[in-house]
Amino acid sequence: MVERGTALLRKVEINVAEAEKRTGKNTVNMQETYSVYLIEIRPAETEGGTPAAPDTLWRRYSDFELLRTYLLVTYPYIIIPPLPEKRYRLPLISPLVGLENFLLRVASHPVLSNDKIFFLFLTEVSSQTCVAECPLKIFSLKHYSDELNSVISQLLRVRARVADRLYGVYKVHGNYGRVFSEWSAIEKEMGDGLQSAGHHMDTYAASIDDILEEEEHFADQLKEYLFYTDAVRSVCRKHELIQYELEMAAQDLAQKKQQKEELATGTVRIFSLKGMTSKLFGQESPEQRESRLAALEQSIQEGEETVKEKNTECKEFMRTAWEDIERFKEQKDRDLREALISYAIMQISMCKKGIQVWSNAKECFSKM
């Protein structure tokens, strides 16, 4: 297991060296141009037997944003260093310095520098494993899903209260109907006008029932997406589980490799019962050592298989899940846009009814 240490900067040098423009297809299948930045890591020394971290790594601005959001949420009590502006007003100055600064500040923070995701942000290349990028992507999805859940819940609450109030307004107008009717009975010239106006007031009061029923449809559409957010969350959880299993397997493998090394070189770095007993009770025989080495070798091979399997599982899961998530996003945008339009159409229809009723009432009043 690589020791990251409390001061990461003692171990590595971090540099944001270059910027490049790339084009590619984005989530809505449109061509876009974006900038990527080269992160250079020069480790002081590599220790242990983990795969050597690559010297360079390209990341785009949105990746930095994602990392920062992750840090903000995970360490709410810490002041997270800021990122530079996305586009500088002066074209000659690029955000290289600002981005490097950001990384250096995080790396020099006693708590943040220990964050696993930050470390992986600096070192992992997504094509090899999905250990760094996955958590960030999943994290952003989970974050979005939680926020969407909260906002839709709030919206549904407001909608219910507004509907209640609107019901009250319409229904009270029914009282006008009653009073106009009674009043018309005692008037001569005004009687007819009042009577017919009263009928329109009754119509107005009754119309709210249909209006609210139609509105329910919009609420149902919102509720559907509320439930969807739960489904998204469970996808995230599943990924977390696979991720966890992968990490366990990797840890396990690293430990075994360490043991092998110790056994091979005769140094005891990690405390083990076997090591202790051999010290106390004398070295084991060469044959015993050989068999132990062989067993370890076997175990390591199995371990490597497991890690490869888990890695594949993780990548496959991410691939299919991400595909479906993209599809879900498009569907969500479509559905909700249509829902908003239907709602507007319903409101327009409600206004039309209102105009009708009050125009009729006005005519009746003119005849008073």
Partner 1 sequence: DKGQPWQNPTTTGNKSNLLHQMNTSLADGSPMPNSPSSLVNQYRLEDDDEGQKDANTKDIFIAVDNPESQVTAIETFIMYRVATRTTRSEFDSSEYEVRRRYQDFLWLRSRLEDNHPTLIVHPLPEKFVMKGMVERFNEDFIETRRKALHRFLNKISEHPILSYSQHFKVFLTAQVSDLASHKKQGPGFLSRMGETVRAVANSVRGLRSRPEEFAVMQEYVEDFSNKMCSMDKVTQRIVKEQREYLEELKQYSPTYAQWADLEEELADPLKGVVSCVVQCSKESEEQIHHLSEVLVPALHEYVLCAETLKAVMRRRDNIQAEFEAKNEALLSRKVDQEAVKEVDGLADRMEQANNALKGDWSRWQHSMRTDLRSVFISTAEKNVEYYEKVRQREISASDSNFTHTEKTQTELLFLFFF
Sites of contact with partner 1 (CB under 8 A): 28, 144, 147-148, 151-152, 154-155, 158, 161-162, 164-166, 168-169, 172-173, 175-176, 179, 182-183, 186, 189-190, 193, 197, 333-334, 336-337, 340-341, 344-345, 347-349, 351-352, 354-355, 358-359, 361-362, 365-366, 368
Name 173's Cβ contacts closer than 8 Å, sequence gap at least 6: 201, 204, 205
Beta carbon of residue 186, minimum distance to partner 1 (angstroms, whole number) = 5
Q: Smaller CB distance to partner 1: residue 274 or 352? A: 352
Answer for the pair 60, 18: CB distance below 8 angstroms, yes or no: no
Q: Smaller CB distance to partner 1: residue 59 or 173? A: 173
Q: Smaller CB distance to partner 1: residue 36 or 190? A: 190
Beta carbon of residue 31, minimum distance to partner 1 (angstroms, whole number) = 16
By C-alpha distance, which of 147, 67, 157 is closest to 106? Answer: 67
What is the C-alpha separation between 292 and 272, in angstroms, rounded? 14
What is the C-alpha separation between 337 and 324, in angstroms, rounded? 20
Q: Smaller CB distance to partner 1: residue 58 or 365? A: 365
Q: 284: which DSSP letter?
A: P
Beta carbon of residue 59, minimum distance to partner 1 (angstroms, whole number) = 21
Q: Smaller CB distance to partner 1: residue 43 or 174? A: 174
Question: Largest Cα–Cα distance in the chain?
Answer: 124
Beta carbon of residue 77, minimum distance to partner 1 (angstroms, whole number) = 24
The two structure tokens encoding residue 89: 């007003």
Q: Smaller CB distance to partner 1: residue 201 or 242? A: 201
How is 299-338 classified by DSSP, letter by letter? Answer: HHHHHHHHHHHHHHHHHHHHHHHHHHHHHHHHHHHHHHHH
Beta carbon of residue 303, minimum distance to partner 1 (angstroms, whole number) = 42
Beta carbon of residue 21, minimum distance to partner 1 (angstroms, whole number) = 22
- Nearest-5° angle of CA 6, CA 7, CA 8? 105
Q: Smaller CB distance to partner 1: residue 158 or 241? A: 158
Q: Smaller CB distance to partner 1: residue 328 or 358? A: 358
Q: Smaller CB distance to partner 1: residue 207 or 258? A: 207
Burial class (CB within 10 angstroms; exposed 0-12, middle 13-18, buried 19+) of 198: buried
Beta carbon of residue 362, minimum distance to partner 1 (angstroms, whole number) = 4
Q: How far is CA 301 from CA 48, 117, 287, in A?
A: 18, 27, 21
Beta carbon of residue 343, minimum distance to partner 1 (angstroms, whole number) = 9
How is 213-255 classified by DSSP, letter by letter? Answer: HHHHHHHHHHHHHHHHHHHHHHHHHHHHHHHHHHHHHHHHHHH
Beta carbon of residue 361, minimum distance to partner 1 (angstroms, whole number) = 5
Answer for the pair 299, 263: CB distance below 8 angstroms, yes or no: no
Beta carbon of residue 36, minimum distance to partner 1 (angstroms, whole number) = 20
By C-alpha distance, which of 152, 141, 78 is closest to 115? Answer: 78
Answer for the pair 179, 239: CB distance below 8 angstroms, yes or no: no
Q: Smaller CB distance to partner 1: residue 103 or 211? A: 211
The two structure tokens encoding residue 114: 């220990």
